[in-house]
Amino acid sequence: MQITISPAATVSGFVRPPGDKSISHRYAIIAAIAEGASRIHNYSTGADCQSTLSCLRDLGAVVENREGVLAISGHGRYGLRQPSGMLDAGNSGSTIRMLSGILAAQPFSTSIGGDESLSRRPMDRIMKPLGDMGATIHARAGRFPPLQIEGGPLRAIDYTLPVASAQVKSCILLAGLYAGGATTVREPVRTRDHTELALREFGAEVESARGVIRVQANPRLEARELLVPGDLSSAAFFMVAALLVPDSELAILSVGLNPTRAALVEFLVSAGARIRVTNVQERGGELIGDLQIKGGRVLGGLIEKELTAALIDEIPVLAVLGAASELGLTVRDAGELRVKETDRIATLAENFRRMGVSMEVMAEGFHVPGKQRFAGAQVDSFGDHRIAMACAVAALAADTETTILNADAASVSFPEFFDTLRGITA
Ligand code: S3P
C-alpha cells in the first residue's frame, strides 16, 4: 500500500497513543505462564503484539478479547503445551527473543521463525546465554531464525550483556524463572526495565540496582489486572510533527513515562523543545502522564553512549527533526540500528537522499546537518514501521506532496497511525 501525504499548515489537537508495544508483549507472555485469568487493558493493536498472542495461543494459552479487554488464562510456568507446528513471530524481534527464554525451559521442543526481515536478525545474542543455562538451540547458519529449541532443565547464570538489549535481558530473566537459584544479568548500559516491573507485578522476586538485575527461580506467578500505558515511542512521531510544523500545539494523553523510556522527553527539552508534563501517576509499577507540546524550531544535539540505547527506537524520527533543527543532529554508538527491522541508517539515508536532505553516514551512526528543507518525493518504508512513520513526519514539513511506498508497514506497531496523523493535521 502507498500513501500520499501533503505538507501540514499546523499540527493540533490531542492524541491517545496505542498501548505500549514493549509492555504489551511482556504482560501477555507473563500472563500465559501465570496461574489464572489476567485482564490486560489497552493492549497494543500492533501486528507485533498480535504475533505474540498467536504464539501463546499455539502454546495452549486461552487468549480472548472481551469487549476491548484482553483476557489471558495461564496454568502456571509449566502449563504450556507443545505446538503442532512452527511458531510464527512475524516481524517481531521481541516475540522471538523473549519467548525463547520460556521455550528453552519447557519439557518439549519448539521451532519458532518469522518473516523475511526477522529471518535476517541475529539470534546468537540469546543463544549464547541460553546455551550457558543448558539449553540446546539450533539456528539457520548458526545465528538466524528459524530457531529449533530443545527445551529442558536450566541452570542459573550470572551474565554480562555484551550489547545493550532489553530483549536479551528479558529473555534471560524469563528463562531464570525456570533455573535453579538466582539468575543475574549485568547491563553495562541501562535499558528499558518493563520486564523487571512486570515480573514483580505478577509476583516474582526481582532485585535491581546499579545495572545488576537478579531474579529468583520458581516463583508463583498470579494472574493480574493491568493497564498498558500509551506508547511513548509511537507518540514520538506526533511530538516531532508538532515541533516541526510552526504554530502547532498538541497534547499526548495517558502515555508511558517510565524513566528508562522518558529520555526522549528530556532530550527534546534539552534541545529547546517546549514540553510540559502533567498528571503523572503510577499504574502497575509504570508511570503514566500527559504531555503538552508547543511547536518551534529546536537546537538539535548529540546522541551517543547510554543515550543512544535509551533513544534507539526514536532515532529515525529524531533524525527528521535534526534536519530541520538549528545545528543538526549527530548520532554515535548506534551499530544496533543496522540490525533492526531494516538497517535503519541505510534506509534513513536513502529516503533523506530522495527528499533532498543530506546525511553523512558512519559505520555506527550518522550526522544530519541542520536548517534543511525536505522536498516532496517518492520514499519507501522498505517494510520497516518506524521508517514509514518517520517519512510521514518528514512529509508534513516538505514543500510538496510525498508518496510513501509500503506505508502499511506502520501497522507493525501502530495500525491507526495514518488516521491519527490525518486527525491532527486536518
Ligand atoms: C525492545 C527493545 C529494543 C527496541 C525494541 C523493543 C523491548 O530492542 O528496539 O523495539 O521491548 O525490549 P533491543 O533489545 O534489540 O535493543
pLDDT digits (tens, 9 = 90+) for 363-422: 999 999 999 999 999 999 999 999 999 999 999 999 999 999 999 999 999 999 999 999
Within this chain, do residues 337 and 406 fall inside the same structural domain, yes or no? yes
Domain-located, residue 222: no
Domain-located, residue 139: yes
Rg (CA), the chain: 21
Task: Quote the cell numbers at residue 190.
Answer: 541501562
Provide the pLDDT confidence category of residue 56 given band limits of 50, 70 and 90. very high
H helices of 12-120, where?
21-32, 47-58, 93-103
Q: State the CB neighbour count (10 A cutoff) for residue 362.
A: 13
Within this chain, do residues 141 and 235 fall inside the same structural domain, yes or no? no
Beta strands, E only, 26-143 = 35-41, 62-66, 69-75, 87-88, 109-113, 136-140
Hey, which of 312, 315, 341, 386 would you mutate to test ligand 1's pocket, going by the most ligand atoms within 8 Å of its Cβ? 312
Q: How many angstroms is it from 165 CA to the middle of ligand 1?
A: 6
Is 20 noted as a catalytic residue in this protein? no
CB within 8 Å of 139: residues ≥ 6 apart: 123, 124, 127, 145, 146, 147, 148
Question: At which of 159, 182, 215 does a domain end?
Answer: 215
**What CA–CA distance (Å, rounded) separates 286 from 74?**
23
Closest of 168, 109, 176 to residue 137, by C-alpha: 109
Within this chain, do residues 388 and 357 fall inside the same structural domain, yes or no? yes
Domain-located, residue 349: yes
Within this chain, do residues 126 and 169 fall inside the same structural domain, yes or no? yes
Within this chain, do residues 186 and 287 fall inside the same structural domain, yes or no? no
CATH of the domain at 33: 3.65.10.10
Domain-located, residue 128: yes
Hey, which of 167, 343, 386 would you mutate to test ligand 1's pocket, going by the most ligand atoms within 8 Å of its Cβ? 167
Domain-located, residue 364: yes
Q: Express each pLDDT in 255-273 by its tens digit.
A: 999 999 999 999 999 999 9
**What CA–CA distance (Å, rounded) separates 171 from 213?**
13
Provide the pLDDT confidence category of residue 276 given band limits of 50, 70 and 90. very high
Within this chain, do residues 82 and 171 fall inside the same structural domain, yes or no? yes
Domain-located, residue 224: no
Q: How many angstroms is it from 406 CA to the middle of ligand 1?
A: 23
Domain-located, residue 60: yes
User: b/e string for 325-353 if b means 16 or more Cβ within 10 A?
Assistant: beebbbbbbbebbeebbbbbbebbbbbbe
**Overall average pLDDT of the 300-304 stretch:** 97
Within this chain, do residues 123 and 233 fall inside the same structural domain, yes or no? no
Model pLDDT, residue 52: 98
Within this chain, do residues 185 and 55 fall inside the same structural domain, yes or no? yes
Question: At which of 162, 183, 215 does a domain end?
Answer: 215
Tell me how many domains the chain contains. Answer: 2
Q: Express each pLDDT in 355-378 by its tens digit.
A: 999 999 999 999 999 999 999 999
Domain-located, residue 290: yes
Model pLDDT, residue 171: 99
Within this chain, do residues 349 and 371 fall inside the same structural domain, yes or no? yes
**Overall average pLDDT of the 152-175 stretch:** 98
pTM of the predicted protein model:
0.98
Model pLDDT, residue 73: 97
Within this chain, do residues 412 and 313 fall inside the same structural domain, yes or no? yes
Q: What's the gap between Cα 181 and its chain centre?
A: 30
Predicted confidence (pLDDT) at residue 297 exceeds the cutoff of 90 = no
Provide the pLDDT confidence category of residue 252 given band limits of 50, 70 and 90. very high
Is residue 233 a contact partner of residue 24, using CB atoms and an 8 Å limit? no
Tell me which residue has cell 501463546: 56
Query: Domain containing 405: what range?
Result: 3-19+229-425
Question: At which of 189, 215, 241 does a domain end?
Answer: 215
Within this chain, do residues 150 and 234 fall inside the same structural domain, yes or no? no
HSE-up (13 A, CA, CB side) for residue 301 = 20
Provide the pLDDT confidence category of residue 426 given band limits of 50, 70 and 90. confident
Average pLDDT over the chain, rounded to whole? 97
Within this chain, do residues 102 and 13 fall inside the same structural domain, yes or no? no
The pLDDT > 90 percentage for the chain reads 98
Q: How many angstroms is it from 24 CA to the middle of ligand 1?
A: 13
